[in-house]
Amino acid sequence: MRLSLAFLISTFFPICVAADYKSVDSAATSAFDRMPPVVVVDVIAGNCGANAGVNPKAAYCTSQNTIYLSELASNLPETPYLIAHLYGHAAQVRHGVADVAFAAIRSRPNEEAALRGMVTRQVECLAGMYMALAGLNDLSLMDWLNDEPFTGSHWSRNPLSRGPQVSIGLAARDEWFQIGQKAVHPSACSVIEMNAELLVNAYKN
């Protein structure tokens, strides 16, 4: 059986190694004030009101301003991305974008899916930016993932089990991830009503 060079490289030399999530942590905390720490726990369930339905790899508790990372997920090739995604939510929460989004959803509940889709696209854009700031460039979500990530509960105030569920498709997520990765600036992360002005004003770099 012939194995492609790409397969051999991806198997024996993963694009991201587990230690890189700490460089993403540093990039995010350098980019914005009041970013959460990453706390490694045995399991996500039981923390911040999380149950078995919450993402078992990583989750962001806004009440505690803490990102929880499970021990088993701390050594995965996609771990830097998982942390970068949650730092995207954290920037929105800590710098006013989440408040804008919640107000829009409350006033137009029939448009909730579309509005949450805008929020998610902006999060992926920020995730790409963090990865680039951490020196992890020219990447695609497809490098690690076959299925769309973070469609279930993975961020919320306590209890995490009541977090939103959103699906926009892996391709759309990757499109915005790459926009942020190439721009390396939050100004590229405006998504229709989810304007990036608050993020730009808060950006420290």
Total-model pTM: 0.90
Residue 150 lies in a domain: yes
Q: Mean per-residue pLDDT for 87-99? A: 98
Residue 5 lies in a domain: no
Residue 205's pLDDT is: 81
pLDDT, one tens digit per residue, over 112-150 is 999 999 999 999 999 999 999 999 999 999 999 999 999
- Least confidently predicted of 19-23, 165-169, 176-180: 19-23
Residue 88 lies in a domain: yes
CB 188 within 8 A of CB 125: yes
Position 16 confidence tier, pLDDT thresholds 50, 70, 90? very low
Residue with more model confidence, 10 or 179: 179
Residue 7 lies in a domain: no
Tell me which DSSP letter residue 165 carries. Answer: -
Residue 63 lies in a domain: yes
Query: What are the b/e assignments for 70-100, b being 16+ CB within 10 Å?
Result: beebbebbbbbbbbbbbbbbbbbbbbebbeb
Spatial distance between the Cα atoms of 2 and 203, rounded to a whole number of angstroms: 48
Average pLDDT for the chain? 92
Examine residue 159 and say whether the peptide bond preceding it is cis (omega within 30 degrees of 0).
yes
Tell me which DSSP letter residue 60 carries. Answer: E
Using CA atoms, how far residue 166 sits from 51, 118, 170, in Å, is 18, 10, 12
pLDDT at 191 over 50: yes
Residue 8 lies in a domain: no
Residue 20's pLDDT is: 75
Domain range for 139? 16-202
Residue 2 lies in a domain: no
109-112: Cβ within 8 A, 24+ apart: none
Residue with more model confidence, 3 or 136: 136
Residue 6's pLDDT is: 38
Residue 4 lies in a domain: no
CB 84 within 8 A of CB 130: yes
pLDDT, one tens digit per residue, over 17-57 is 444 799 999 999 999 999 999 999 999 999 999 999 999 99
**Strand 58-61 with 38-41, pairing:** unpaired
Domain count, the chain: 1
CB 89 within 8 A of CB 60: yes
